[in-house]
Amino acid sequence: MFGTQNSKTATAAGPPGPAPGLLRGPAPGPAFALLGAVQMALIFTLTSLVVPLPRIGREFSLDRDDLILLSSAYGLTFSGLLLFGGRVADRFGGRRALTAGLLLFAAASLAALLAPGAPTLLAARFAQGAGAALTAPAAMAVLRAVFPHPAAYGRAMATWGGLSVLGATAGNLLSGVISTLASWRSALAVPVVVAAVALALAPRLLPPTRAGTDRSLDLPGALLATAGISLAGYGLVLTDAHPWGSSAVAAPLLTGSALLVGFLIVERRAHDPLLPLGFLRDRRRALALTAIGLIAAGTATTFVLLSLHLQQDRGWSALQTSAVFVPFAVALIASGRAAGPLIARYGAPAVTTSGLAVAATGLALLALTGLSPHTPYAHGLLPGLLLLPVGVAAGFAGAAVLATDGVEPQQTGLAGGVMNTAMELGPTVVLAALLTLGSDATSLAATAIAFAVAAALNTRTK
């Protein structure tokens, strides 16, 4: 089981035949490429409006609260529905759920691209998040069918772990370029194209997956989880514009928190819970999910603070700001390619710990510069921007392997839902907390300390 199995052995040794309930399908390489492109597109969509958001606000005459809701709409439904999406994938089969999710995601993305006004764009972003919440865990369920042997699946997850961070980086980088050279709507065309290609190629490239047993969908748990996560997340997002004690923040935050407490009570008593609480009791899995949330939060924090600093304090254009992240993306890709072999040799816990430590060093270097308008780029910002993605890619890859190690095939969708929930909620919670700290340097230093603590805790985990 997960609590006693050595992760290094799990990802390097070859087990007997395929897992039960999975059907053999086409060659794994093209299938992985297709699923990876889908996962990257889901995260790209999350960040694609960050840079052009001021332009959208001017075009549609939106105030700050409207922009906050528009920028967070996709993430709210994405994170809120992920657990339910994982249950659907396990219940009805990964490829069937993937197809349904892609259809909804493609239709909503097209509606966002063609939106004549802010209300339509907002509704489309909510619908995009719902489609993504079904697609993401289903993609992981299909990935398990593509790589039925645990050794091969572990190696695939080591690569899969870096795709989300790469998608977020691409969203920040390309959205600035696209919105400068063309309309901000052009960035919204990317998910439409990826979803359409995936729907066309899925029958040929992806293996069929059998539906699970006749388990209930746990609708009471799903409703409580969705409403609780969405409301609490929205309350945290609003701390950017309102004080913590204001009714605008307190009402959704307290209501959402109460609903999440109700969700835990319902899950403890449910015969077939949406989220079996025992799934999170394993210490290594819990720390891996914490690491995933922290890494996503650290990356998002750096993107947000650095983008605002370069454009507001230094007067750089969106295109110049996007160019700053090119070395970040290169280092991220290089480190991601090396993560798999390192995990096979040294084990996922060691790579996760090392990645967190390196990322903490990168954040500390950025904090030491103070993000001053006079900080030179080459020997001021660049060292931190190179160390951070190296650590992020390694840490995320190792944590993804740990989070899915020992998971039964019929719970792959659940694992995907939990992983993606941690990845979505991490930035929301951490960014809201950092807004109370004041300066950008203090926020980055606090994030670096959190990374270092997580690395120390992971070192002590057996």
Provide the 10 A C-beta neighbour count for residue 136: 31
Q: Which residue has the tokens 């996709």?
A: 74
Mark whether 53 and 171 lie in a shared domain.
yes
Mark whether 71 and 93 lie in a shared domain.
yes
Say what the pTM is: 0.80
- pLDDT at residue 215, as a whole number: 67
Q: Is residue 6 part of a domain?
A: no
- pLDDT at residue 442, as a whole number: 74
Residue numbers of the chain with a pLDDT score lower than 70: 1-26, 212-215, 370, 431, 434-441, 458-462
Q: Which among 133, 154, 134, 132 has a CA at the least distance from the CA of 143?
A: 154
Measured between alpha carbons, how far is 171 from 178 in angstroms, rounded to an integer?
10
Q: How far is CA 137 from CA 89, 132, 222, 302, 414, in A?
A: 7, 9, 15, 27, 7
Q: Is residue 148 part of a domain?
A: yes
The number of angstroms, rounded, from the C-alpha of 66 to the middle of its chain's C-alpha atoms is: 24
- pLDDT at residue 436, as a whole number: 65
| CATH at 439 | 1.20.1250.20
- pLDDT at residue 251, as a whole number: 94
Most distant CA pair in the chain, distance: 63
Q: Which residue has the tokens 């659907």?
A: 88
Mark whether 79 and 180 lie in a shared domain.
yes
Mark whether 296 and 267 lie in a shared domain.
no
Q: Is residue 96 part of a domain?
A: yes
Mark whether 340 and 382 lie in a shared domain.
yes
Mark whether 282 and 233 lie in a shared domain.
no
Mark whether 230 and 281 lie in a shared domain.
no
Q: Is residue 149 part of a domain?
A: yes
Mark whether 249 and 123 lie in a shared domain.
no
Domain with 249 in it: 218-273
Q: Which among 216, 138, 217 has a CA at the least distance from the CA of 419?
A: 138
Bridge partners (DSSP) of residue 316 are none
Q: Are 216 and 273 in contact (CB under 8 A)?
A: no
Which of 253, 273, 293 is the endpoint of a domain?
Answer: 273
The number of angstroms, rounded, from the C-alpha of 390 to the middle of its chain's C-alpha atoms is: 17
Mark whether 168 and 310 lie in a shared domain.
yes
**How many structural domains is the chain composed of?**
2
Q: Which residue has the tokens 């047993």?
A: 213
Q: Are 47 and 172 in contact (CB under 8 A)?
A: yes
Mark whether 43 and 134 lie in a shared domain.
yes
209 SS3 class = strand
Which of 231, 252, 273 is the endpoint of a domain?
Answer: 273
268 CB burial (10 A radius; 0-12, 13-18, 19+): exposed
Q: Are 257 and 225 in contact (CB under 8 A)?
A: no
pLDDT tens-digit profile of 360-381? 998 888 888 767 777 788 888 8
Q: Which among 271, 272, 238, 269 has a CA at the least distance from the CA of 255?
A: 238
Residue 132, CB-side half-sphere exposure with 13 Å CA sphere: 32
Q: Is residue 10 part of a domain?
A: no
The helix or strand, by DSSP H or E, that contains position 318, with its residue range, turns out to be helix 318-324
- pLDDT at residue 104, as a whole number: 97
Q: Dig out the tokens for 256 from the structure.
A: 């959402």
- pLDDT at residue 139, as a whole number: 94
Indicate the DSSP class of residue 315.
Answer: -
Q: Is the Cα torsion angle 111, 113, 116, 119 positive or negative in sign?
A: positive
* DSSP output for 359-406: HHHHHHHHHHHTT-TT--IIIIIHHHHHHHHHHHHHHHHHHHHHHHTT
Q: Are 38 and 135 in contact (CB under 8 A)?
A: yes
Measured between alpha carbons, how far is 400 from 355 in angstroms, rounded to an integer?
12
Q: Is residue 15 part of a domain?
A: no
Q: Is residue 8 part of a domain?
A: no
Q: Is residue 11 part of a domain?
A: no
pLDDT tens-digit profile of 192-222? 999 999 999 999 999 888 776 666 778 898 9
Mark whether 46 and 190 lie in a shared domain.
yes
Mark whether 186 and 289 lie in a shared domain.
yes
Which of 229, 245, 273 is the endpoint of a domain?
Answer: 273
State the angle between helix axes of 185-205 and 94-113 in degrees (0 to 180), rounded to the nearest 10.
160
- pLDDT at residue 331, as a whole number: 92
Measured between alpha carbons, how far is 448 from 462 in angstroms, rounded to an integer?
24
- pLDDT at residue 36, as a whole number: 93
- pLDDT at residue 119, as a whole number: 94
Compute the radius of gyration of the chain from its Cα atoms. Answer: 21
